[in-house]
Structure 1
Amino acid sequence: MREIAIPDETAAPTPKDDTLGPAWWAEDPERWDLLQFEAAHDEAGLPLDRWWKDRRDVMDALILTPGPVDHDFARFLLAQETRFHRHCWGFSHTIEAAALLLTEHRRPDDVWHLWQAITASFDTWCGLPHRLLLAGGGTTRTIAYVVGSGHEQRDNLLGHLQELPKATDDEVTAFLAERRRYYADVLREPGTTPEPGDD
């Protein structure tokens, strides 16, 4: 997969360990623009490997930090990962990291953002665990929410949810905690790379 980055003139200040801490990003939503993926940069031939590294470093730092991040920030991060994965071939662990940060809020309406991420490409369909879709309360609550919605993707998502193995809210909670623990453990091991989850 190609690496992408923020052009140097817009890059954020870099601390000694080359990783911007979660608190720095949370202080000011205007800083989020530094993590925004723009396909136009790549099409113009601008160097984007720094953007890719910056956003990977932010995801890794957030996964290693206990507790949920700001909900709007989590949605923003997943939206950028989804855009990136629609534009580029391959699968990066950062999209699952962003999805996990969003699922920690356990909001049923986030199912649409998770569905967009899963359906962004063939690689995200194969790489992202589809159980993430049940983060809003397990199978029963998630299906009830989708049935009651007027979303244009309701029938597509509903059909897919009905094909997934049933899971209670407690089972989903345990699954999300296990995936976050997995990423945190891998990121603490030098020289290792996170692997996609299973369905």
Structure 2
Amino acid sequence: MSISRGVASPCRRRRPEHPAKREIAIPDETVAHTSKDDALGPAWWTEDSERWDLLQFEAAHDAAGLPLDPWWKDRRDVLDALILSPGPVDHDFARFLLEQETRFHRHCWGFSHTIETAALLLAEHRRPDDIWHLWQAITTSFDTWCGLPHQLLLAGGGTTLTVAYVAGSGHEQEDNLLGHLQELAQVTDDDVTTLIAERRRYYTDTLRELDDAQEHDDDR
């Protein structure tokens, strides 16, 4: 398994490709990149939600025919930094990041590891009502359907509690989601906890390896 720096089709393999070596840099208030040592920590973003505009997907950019959401790399760096930090992160911020990644993937072909890390950060909160945001992310495209772990839908308490919540929700997507949940293998809350921990550990280990490799190259 490997992570993708860009947006690549995942359906020939379950996970995206390995990224090029990079520093994890987070934008400051002028959207200027900093070095890894000077990067703003995750707490900076949660101090003021107005700063989140720096990471917002701009559909107009895509409509103009430009190849990449201009803030996608900044969002990627923020998500990488957050997955390397002890969780869970601020719930509203996690939901915002997944919404932006969902919007980005709706306008782009392929799959990036960023939408999975955003989904993991939200799923860590284990809130039943987050299932609608996770469902929207999964159903965004063929690629997100193939690339995202569907068991994250059960983060609100495993199969039994999740099905009961959705069945009583009255949500417009209730029937569609219930039909899909019934097709998934039954899992317990502990099973979902294990999945989230394993996927988070995978990304943490991979990003640290990339940092170590970058530092080794810089010392040459």
- TM, length-normalised to structure 1: 0.87
**1:172 alignment partner, one of 185, 192, 202:** 192
Shift, 1:47, TM fit? 7.6
Pick aligned residue for 1:30 from 50, 54, 57: 50
| Matching residue of 1:51 | 71
- 1:104 aligned to 117, 124, 129, which one? 124
Q: Is the 8 A contact 1:91 1:127 kept in 2?
A: yes
Give, in whole Å, the separation in 2 of the partners of 1:104 and 1:19: 24
The runs of 5 or more residues in structure 2 that have no matched partner are 1-5, 9-26, 213-220
Q: Residues 40 and 2 from structure 1, CA distance in 2 versus in 1: closer, same or farther, beyond 3 angstroms?
A: farther
After TM superposition, give the deviation of residue 43 of structure 1 in Å. Answer: 2.1
Shift of 1:12: 2.2
Worse-superposed segment, 17-26 or 44-53: 44-53
- CA positional deviation for 1:163: 0.4
Q: 1:191 deviation in Å?
A: 8.1
Q: Which amino acid aligns with 1:60?
A: D
Cα offsets for 1:42-70 (capped at 9, x unmatched): 22356856512111100000000012111
1:16 aligns with 2:40: no
Q: Distance in 2 between matches of 1:11 and 1:43?
A: 24
Distance 2:61 2:143 in 1: 22
Q: Is the 8 A contact 1:59 1:98 kept in 2?
A: yes
* Stretch deviating more after TM superposition (78-87 or 46-55): 46-55
Aligned residues: 187
8 Å contact kept, 1:118–1:125: yes
* Stretch of structure 1 that moved more, 19-28 or 61-70: 19-28
Does residue 69 of the first structure (1) align with residue 89 of the second (2)? yes
Say which structure is richer in helix: 1
Normalized against structure 2, the TM-score is what? 0.79
Correspondence 1:60 to 2:80: yes
Letter paired with 1:181: R
Output the CA distance in 1 between the equivalents of 2:180 and 2:131.
Answer: 12
For residues 104-152 of structure 1, the C-alpha deviation after alignment (integer angstroms, 9 at most, x for no partner) is 1100000000000000000000000000000000000000000000100
Q: Which of structure 1's runs of 4+ aligned residues deviate more than 6 A? A: none
1:197 aligned residue: none
Q: Is the 8 A contact 1:20 1:58 kept in 2?
A: no
Q: Could you tell me how far 1:41 is from its partner in structure 2?
A: 1.6
Contact 2:58-2:69 at 8 Å conserved across structures: no
Contact 1:139/1:167 (8 A) holds in 2: yes
RMSD: 2.2
Gaps of 5+ in 1: 193-199
